[in-house]
Amino acid sequence: MNIVFDLDGTLIDSAPDIQAVAADILNGLGKAPLSLEEVRSFVGEGAGVLVSRMMNAREIPETPARHAEIYGQFVARYESAVDLAVFYPGVVDALAVLKAQGHRLGLCTNKPELPARAVMRHMGLDPVFDVVIAGGMVASRKPDPEMLHVCIAELGGGPTLYVGDSETDAQTARAAAVPFALYTEGYRKSPVAEMPHDWAFDHFDRLQEIVREARARQTAAE
Ligand SMILES: O=C(O)COP(=O)(O)O
Ligand SMILES: [Mg+2]
């Protein structure tokens, strides 16, 4: 089947890289850096929203022009901010096993395309994914289901499991009517019970079992 993954907060913790980019910009504006907790709570709806939240948190008045200026500085640095990202435990093995089993793997992230591709290359993920849909590649962003729909279509259609960490991912899966496995150790803000999901897991060594169950449900529905 197709297994589509979110990136930030699901496969990798990229908050330290984003924190460094933000600190650089805020420092230039005479403002205090963001904590990792702040960064993690700001990620999930794309870089534009992240920049708005950063400006708001450091009381930088947001006009469209000011946002555009700071956003420009942010994305310019974001593209090379890859050194501090780390995989969540078990991710590399889980992806390798799923790939070896012949599943088609997709990536569906709100992270803008250039930083998404840069961090994928840095982490050795390029050969793993058959399809990548990142921020800016389609007109809308998650939780609009379009990104996920496009990703599934490019994977060739058919049964799909979506794996993500945030409220945005849970809403996206629901809107796209795709079964959803929630990784609970990423950047979610709500209790697990309040987020729509078909499975929840706290370690990637459980993903095999979830994929087996998702396939069994799919077969039963056919
Ligand atoms: O960059 C973001 O805001 C989110 O990225 P994600 O969709 O991979 O969680
Ligand atoms: Mg995420």
Residue 199 forms beta bridges with which residues?
181
CATH of the domain at 22: 1.10.150.240
Name the percent of the chain lying above pLDDT 70. Answer: 100
Q: What is the pLDDT of residue 140?
A: 97
pLDDT digits (tens, 9 = 90+) for 196-211: 999 999 999 999 999 9
Residues 63 and 98 in one domain: no
For residue 192 the two structure tokens come to: 């697990």
Region of poorest pLDDT, from 74-83, 103-112, 122-131, 151-160: 74-83
How far, in Å, is the centroid of ligand 1 from the Cα of 39?
A: 12
Averaged pLDDT for residues 73-92: 95
Please give the ipTM for the structure prediction.
Answer: 0.93
For residue 156 the two structure tokens come to: 């060739």
CB burial readout 116-131, b (16+ within 10 A) else e: bbbbbebbebeebbbb
Length of the chain: 222
The answer to whether 3 and 220 have CB atoms below 8 angstroms apart is no
Overall domain count for the chain = 2
Q: How far is CA 129 from CA 37, 45, 99, 105, 192, in A?
A: 29, 22, 9, 5, 28
Q: Is the pLDDT of residue 121 over 90?
A: yes
In angstroms, rounded to a whole number, what is the distance separating the alpha carbons of residues 202 and 151? 25
Distance of CA 199 to the CA centre of its chain: 18
Q: What is the pLDDT of residue 221?
A: 83
Report the atom number in ligand 1 closest to the C-alpha of 112. 1
Q: Is the pLDDT of residue 218 over 90?
A: no
Residues 129 and 74 in one domain: no
Indicate which residues carry an active-site annotation: 6
Q: Is the pLDDT of residue 220 over 90?
A: no
Mean of the per-residue pLDDT values of the chain:
96
Amino acid symbol at 36 = L
In angstroms, rounded to a whole number, what is the distance separating the alpha carbons of residues 63 and 51? 12
Query: From the CB of 147, is ligand 1 less than 6 Å away?
Result: no
SS3 category, 107? strand
Task: Name the residue of 6, 17, 19, 43 to mutate for ligand 1: max ligand atoms within 8 A of Cβ.
Answer: 43
39 band by pLDDT with thresholds 50, 70 and 90: very high
Residues 153 and 216 in one domain: yes
pLDDT digits (tens, 9 = 90+) for 130-170: 999 999 999 999 999 999 999 999 999 999 999 999 999 99
Query: From the CB of 9, is ligand 1 less than 6 Å away?
Result: yes
**Taking the CA atoms of the chain, what radius of gyration do you get in angstroms?**
17
Q: Is the pLDDT of residue 219 over 90?
A: no
Q: Is 165 annotated as a binding residue?
A: yes
CATH of the domain at 104: 3.40.50.1000
104 band by pLDDT with thresholds 50, 70 and 90: very high
What element of type H or E holds 91?
A: helix 91-100
In angstroms, rounded to a whole number, what is the distance separating the alpha carbons of residues 25 and 54? 10
Sign for the pseudo-dihedral over CA of 193, 106, 43, 136? negative
In angstroms, rounded to a whole number, what is the distance separating the alpha carbons of residues 164 and 197? 10
The range of the structural domain enclosing residue 148 comes to 2-13+85-221
Residues 145 and 213 in one domain: yes
Pairing mode of beta strands 86-87, 12-13: antiparallel
Query: From the CB of 119, is ligand 1 less than 6 Å away?
Result: no
Question: Which residues crowd ion ligand 2, with CB under 5 Å?
Answer: 6, 8-9, 165-166
